[in-house]
Amino acid sequence: MKNLRFAPLALALTLTLLAGCSLLPTPGAGPTPAPTTTTPLSTTSTSSTTTTSTPSTTTTSTTLTSSTTAPAPSMSPPSTSTLGLLAFGDAGSGDATQMQVATQMENWAATHRVDALLEAGDVVYPDGAPSRFAATIDAPYARLRASRPLWAALGNHDVMWNNGNDLMAYLSMPSRSYEKILTNNDVTMQILVLDSNSVSVAQTEWLDSKLSSGPYRWRIVMFHHPVWSCSKHGNTQSVISSWLPVLTSRNVDLVVTGHDHNYQRFQNANTTFVVTGGGGMPTYAITSCSGTPPLQASAQRHHFLGIEATSTALSVTAVARTGETLDQVSIN
């Protein structure tokens, strides 16, 4: 069983009362160790790509070693992580709110290692049209993407236009489901992206096959529709039936989803499940729910996730568009 450490949520609870968000902390939370200050790593990168195919899925595996810093200022201490990611979802409003979240992501990247961006679907509202790419992708993330890849999952709004094919081409997505591998020193991370608009047998078999490969120190799976959600859209039964048994039996460390416009975190067996749908669109209320594991934390707030990996821990921090930490979990 993985050990989980949670940061204090006193600040987040105070902000909950002021901002009207819902935040459910984990019972018995303990303090987070103070970070160690180091000099940010310099930028280096190497990559190799191989392509294989299943009857309906093309798989691209990319090995990337890099360290980058963005020019935006930050009040955060320098990071000591070996690999780092930014994750967010349901961002594609193209308005000031999306820009505010993107600015906080730049602030994080200024003092934390960030190797890639993960976007958990609904990249382009309202219907995935190419005319909206500049406002929803280029304008918010130009500086972040200047030296980092953006790996996205298709959301339900993205496939409304040409079944998402234009967006896939624009973001150089190799397929609707694909694999990325990050490696730095002795730390390897497998990232699998799925298309939850169609929970097919082929994708399920591909997922199981990829999760049986390795070894990898950390495994992250991303798709749009949440396994569980205590909000507007609720649980996704097709995912529960087809993918959840694979995710838990293969001991995936982290599952990143969106669709409901808020932050939620669940724990099931060895796997942490996060709904990160607060990237820019109007938020949804947290509601009562059933048929889910206990809701460990939640917030009706715009936010992103900072994901940091070392050889011993995978840390996930939810950061609000105003800069404060909403929640943090460390997976060991």
Asked if residue 203 has pLDDT above 50, the reply is: yes
- Return the pLDDT at 79: 73
Radius of gyration of the chain (CA): 18
Helical (H) or strand (E) element with 59: strand 58-64
Asked if residue 65 has pLDDT above 60, the reply is: no
Q: Cβ-count burial of 44 within 10 angstroms (0-12 exposed, 13-18 middle, 19+ buried)?
A: exposed
Average pLDDT of the residues of the chain: 84
DSSP three-state, residue 308: strand
**32 — pLDDT class (breaks 50, 70, 90):** very low
Peptide bond into 215 cis (omega under 30): yes
Asked if residue 54 has pLDDT above 50, the reply is: no
Asked if residue 10 has pLDDT above 60, the reply is: no
- Return the pLDDT at 43: 28
| 129-187 pLDDT tens trace | 999 999 999 999 999 999 999 999 999 999 999 999 999 999 999 999 999 999 999 99
CA proximity to 241, closest of 269, 204, 208: 204
Mean pLDDT of 107-127: 98
CB atoms under 10 Å from CB of 27, counted, come to: 8
Residues contacting 182, CB < 8 A, separation 6+? 63, 64, 65, 83, 115, 116, 188, 189, 191
* Phi and psi, residue 105, nearest 5°: -65, -40
Let me know: does 272 contact 327? Beta carbons within 8 Å: no
Mean pLDDT of 13-28: 38
Query: CA-to-CA distance for 320 and 302, rounded, in angstroms?
Result: 6
Query: CA-to-CA distance for 70 and 145, rounded, in angstroms?
Result: 10
Asked if residue 34 has pLDDT above 60, the reply is: no
Asked if residue 290 has pLDDT above 60, the reply is: yes
| 243-279 pLDDT tens trace | 999 999 999 999 999 999 999 999 999 999 999 999 9
Q: 127 or 214: which carries more pLDDT confidence?
A: 127
Residue type, 171: L
- In the chain, what percentage of residues exceed pLDDT 90? 75
Mean pLDDT of 179-196: 98
Strand partners, 331: 4, 314
What is the reported pTM? 0.81
Per-residue burial over 93-131, b = 16 or more CB atoms within 10 Å of its CB, e = otherwise? bbeebbbbbbebbbbbbbbbbbbbbbbbbbbbbeebbee
- Return the pLDDT at 57: 54
Task: Pick the range with the lowest mean pLDDT from 45-54, 95-104, 114-123, 221-230.
Answer: 45-54
- Return the pLDDT at 67: 35
Q: Cβ-count burial of 4 within 10 angstroms (0-12 exposed, 13-18 middle, 19+ buried)?
A: middle
Asked if residue 76 has pLDDT above 50, the reply is: no
Let me know: does 154 contact 34? Beta carbons within 8 Å: no
> Domains in the chain, please, with CATH?
4-11+47-331 (3.60.21.10)
